[in-house]
Amino acid sequence: MTIPRAAKTQRRTRIQEAKEEQILEAALDVFSVSGFRGSTIDQIAEVAGMSKPNLLYYFRTKEAMHRALIDRVLFTWLEPLRAFDAEGNPESEIRSYIRRKLEMARDFPRESRLFANEMLQGAPHVEDELKGPLKQLVDEKAEVIRSWTKAGKIAKCDPYHLIFSIWSTTQHYADFDVQVRAVLGQEHAGAGRFEDAARFLEQLFIDGLKVKPVPDAS
């Protein structure tokens, strides 16, 4: 019988694990550029170096591949935010959060683009995750930030929009990489652009969030 598709078996053989990894790696290449609708199984199969029916032996549908990919990416993608520590020093926490996010944009640009593609299309496959686990995590960290402002450790500001702005500025270097390179030109588009970005963003956020001397009407 050939009925028991890979997914059904209890124990995953080494070969299964390896092939699924190989497929998801190729799928990430393709989905991150063309989005779900714009990607084809044939493309993924070619990148993976396998036949199309062979892909479909491990993942029954195109959606299944995409779903598996999204699930995996979503988890690791939120790790920097999870590491955000309430006990830590606000300035250094924000600083290292920016650093971490920027490192991810540099080291895992495909993952960032996969996620961006999904958002642009209205998150048809992950809306529940956004409204559930993601919102919950952000709510939690927003509360931490709010406590910092209340304690006078950082300037008063909307914690949600602070998080959004860190997300957007850092992911920009992955999602809009072509634009960044084009605008910076050959001279400044080298590997150093991430260091420059880090310096700028740290300055912006740290100084922008410093507690300001109240011009109190006395």
Partner DNA sequence: CGATAATTTGACCGATTGGTAAACATTACA
Partner DNA sequence: TGTAATGTTTACCAATCGGTCAAATTATCG
Q: Name the site residues for DNA (rule: CB under 7 A).
A: 1-2, 4, 6, 9, 13-16, 19, 39-43, 50-54, 56-57, 60-63
Per-residue string for binding with a second copy, 60-99, x by CB under 8 A?
A: ----------------------------------------
**18 sits near a second copy (criterion: CB under 8 A):** no
Residue choice 18, 64, 86, 183 for contact with a second copy (CB under 8 A)? 183
Classify burial at 73, counting beta carbons within 10 Å of its beta carbon; exposed 0-12, middle 13-18, buried 19 or more.
buried
Judge contact between 97 and 209, C-beta under 8 A: no
Contact status, residue 43 vs residue 125, Cβ threshold 8 Å: no
Give the separation between CA 175 and CA 102, rounded to whole angstroms: 12
Report in angstroms how near the CB of residue 127 gets to a second copy at its nearest: 7
DSSP string, 110-167: HHHHHHHHHHHTT-TTTHHHIIIIIHHHHHHHHHHHHHHHHTTSS----HHHHHHHHH
Using the minimum distance from each CB to a second copy, give the nearer residue, 48 or 169.
169
Point out which residues bind a second copy (CB under 8 A): 32-39, 113, 116-117, 119-123, 127, 130-131, 134-135, 138, 155, 157-158, 160-162, 164-165, 167-169, 171-173, 175-180, 182-185, 188, 196-197, 199-201, 203-210, 212
